[in-house]
């Protein structure tokens, strides 16, 4: 990757919704959590859209169809139709269609989102290893997916049929805790077969390519809550990104991010689309300033002095930590500095 190492969050004098033509928004942890909208998401998205920003929703979840996702967004009060939703099922269907003849049979281990995406690419979903499939595709099938579906995948893969996975997210965070995601299901088949799937979802290039092809974005901004999918996907696609702190990433993880996981911008929630972003000034010798804060890297810990908005303090700390870490993750203790910010 030729991209230079990011050592501080970027500033923007313009509102992000004006500086970028299209927001490529992750869903869970950004727009909603479980079934409910995240605070400020509905109003912020409406304002960004009214201001002329194109909004697209990009999800690694292959279970639901774009229609179903758009319906959910509409229920929450977010105007969206199926064409505004891009799923890893669509990305993996394109990948398969590029490698197999039109009309090829594909054994589906997963849900309706995969079947619809395969048909859209002229492929024929089948249900059994006895149906002579030319490929196996595995996507999240929901909690009711029977164990026997994995056996069908294994029978076909053992005969040399190529194997594809929509995504490899190991976990799905929910109200009651952490549930196994499609990546865990892929591991079951990998262990049983010794084979390796081709994977489409974030942070890999097929998903980013699908998103750009479908949106026509010229100056996209990836908006996500997860460093190893959303932000790394933006890094791999060489586009800018905004991390929001409404999902799975907390401040210590952000400070300890290696270069491919460092976002261009960080903000509390989607209101960040409607503002500029403050510059982080200074350097390692004199300290990094943002708002009323100054952050420095000591021998063992990050230090923070001053006062002001918590997010500005975090931005200054990002610069201190990322500069100290360089091409690696910063291992300095940030506990005391973050306690001052209430983060
Ligand atoms: Mg997410």
pLDDT in tens, 201-216: 999 999 999 999 999 9
Whether the per-residue pLDDT at 43 is higher than 70: the answer is yes
CATH number, domain containing residue 110? 3.40.50.1000
110 and 175 inside one domain: yes
Is position 1 within any domain? Answer: no
**Domain stop point among 159, 183, 198:** 198
Query: DSSP string spanning 13-64?
Result: SS-HHHH-SEEEE--BTTTEETTEEPTTHHHHHHHHHHTT-EEEEEES--SS
Q: Which residues are bridge partners to 23 per DSSP?
A: 55, 221
Section 287-291 average pLDDT: 97
Is position 257 within any domain? Answer: yes
pLDDT at 3: 65
Is position 83 within any domain? Answer: no
101 and 185 inside one domain: yes
Is position 322 within any domain? Answer: yes
CA-CA distances (angstroms) from residue 144 to 110, 165, 319?
10, 19, 45
128 and 190 inside one domain: yes
262 and 312 inside one domain: no
Tell me the pTM. Answer: 0.95
Q: Among residues 26, 84, 230, 240, which one is catalytic?
A: 26
Whether the per-residue pLDDT at 185 is higher than 90: the answer is yes
Section 69-87 average pLDDT: 97
192 and 265 inside one domain: no
**Domain stop point among 198, 220, 242:** 198
Q: Ligand 1 centre from 44 Cα, in Å?
A: 17
192 and 214 inside one domain: no
Whether the per-residue pLDDT at 2 is higher than 70: the answer is no
Q: Ligand 1 centre from 76 Cα, in Å?
A: 17
- Enter the DSSP assignment of 231: I
How far apart are the C-alpha atoms of 218 and 165, rounded to whole Å?
28
Closest CA to 229 of 254, 264, 248, 202: 202
Instruction: For ligand 1, an ion, list residues with CB under 5 A.
Output: 26, 28-29, 225-226, 247
99 and 23 inside one domain: no
248 and 265 inside one domain: yes
- Under 8 Å between Cβ of 174 and 34: yes
Q: Ligand 1 centre from 155 Cα, in Å?
A: 33
* pLDDT per position as a tens digit, 94-149: 999 999 999 999 999 999 999 999 999 999 999 999 999 999 999 999 999 999 99
| Domain membership of residue 258 as a residue range | 16-60+204-274
Instruction: Reply yes or no on whether 26 is catalytic.
Output: yes
Half-sphere exposure of 15 (CA within 13 A, CB side): 17
How far apart are the C-alpha atoms of 132 and 107, rounded to whole Å?
9
250 and 316 inside one domain: no
Is position 25 within any domain? Answer: yes
Q: Ligand 1 centre from 227 Cα, in Å?
A: 9
Is position 76 within any domain? Answer: no
How far apart are the C-alpha atoms of 252 and 216, rounded to whole Å?
35
pLDDT at 270: 98
Is position 310 within any domain? Answer: yes
Q: Ligand 1 centre from 174 Cα, in Å?
A: 12
Whether the per-residue pLDDT at 60 is higher than 50: the answer is yes
221 and 135 inside one domain: no
**Domain stop point among 136, 170, 198:** 198
pLDDT at 1: 44
Section 153-173 average pLDDT: 96
pLDDT at 4: 85
Q: Ligand 1 centre from 328 Cα, in Å?
A: 24
Q: Ligand 1 centre from 26 Cα, in Å?
A: 5
Widest distance between CA atoms in the chain:
68
Q: Ligand 1 centre from 169 Cα, in Å?
A: 10
Q: Ligand 1 centre from 118 Cα, in Å?
A: 24
pLDDT at 34: 81
109 and 160 inside one domain: yes
Reported as a pLDDT band with limits 50, 70 and 90, residue 35 is confident
pLDDT at 176: 87
3-state SS, 304-326, equals: EEECCCHHHHHHHHHHHHHHHHC
Instruction: Reply yes or no on whether 21 is catalytic.
Output: no
Is position 73 within any domain? Answer: no
- Enter the DSSP assignment of 269: S
104 and 178 inside one domain: yes
Total domains in the chain come to: 3
């Amino acid at each position: 990757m030729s991209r230079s190492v990011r050592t501080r969050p970027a500033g923007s004098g313009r509102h992000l919704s004006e500086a970028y033509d299209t927001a490529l928004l992750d869903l869970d942890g950004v727009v909603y959590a479980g079934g409910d909208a995240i605070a400020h998401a509905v109003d912020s998205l409406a304002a960004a859209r009214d201001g002329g920003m194109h909004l697209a929703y990009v999800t690694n979840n292959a279970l639901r169809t774009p229609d179903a996702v758009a319906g959910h967004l509409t229920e929450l009060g977010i105007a969206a139709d199926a064409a505004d939703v891009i799923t890893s099922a669509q990305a993996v269907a394109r990948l398969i269609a590029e490698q197999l003849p039109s009309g090829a049979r594909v054994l589906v281990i997963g849900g309706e989102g995969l079947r619809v995406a395969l048909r859209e690419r002229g492929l024929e979903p089948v249900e059994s290893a006895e149906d002579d499939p030319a490929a196996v595709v595995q996507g999240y099938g929901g909690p009711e997916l029977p164990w026997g579906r994995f056996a069908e995948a294994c029978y076909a893969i053992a005969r040399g049929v190529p194997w594809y996975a929509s995504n490899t997210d190991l976990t799905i965070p929910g109200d009651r805790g952490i549930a196994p995601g499609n990546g865990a299901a892929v591991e079951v088949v990998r262990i049983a077969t010794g084979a390796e799937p081709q994977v489409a979802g974030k942070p890999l290039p097929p998903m980013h390519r699908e998103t750009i092809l479908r949106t026509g974005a010229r100056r996209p901004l990836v908006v996500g809550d997860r460093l190893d999918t959303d932000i790394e996907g933006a890094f791999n696609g060489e586009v800018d990104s905004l991390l929001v702190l409404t999902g799975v990433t907390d401040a210590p993880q952000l400070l300890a991010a290696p270069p491919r996981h460092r976002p261009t911008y960080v903000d509390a929630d989607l209101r960040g689309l409607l503002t500029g972003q403050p510059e982080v000034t200074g350097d390692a010798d004199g300290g990094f300033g943002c708002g009323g804060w100054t952050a420095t890297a000591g021998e063992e810990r990050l230090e923070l002095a001053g006062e002001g908005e918590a997010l500005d303090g975090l931005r200054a700390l990002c610069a201190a930590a990322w500069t100290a870490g360089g091409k690696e993750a910063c291992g300095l203790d940030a506990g005391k500095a973050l306690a001052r910010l209430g983060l």
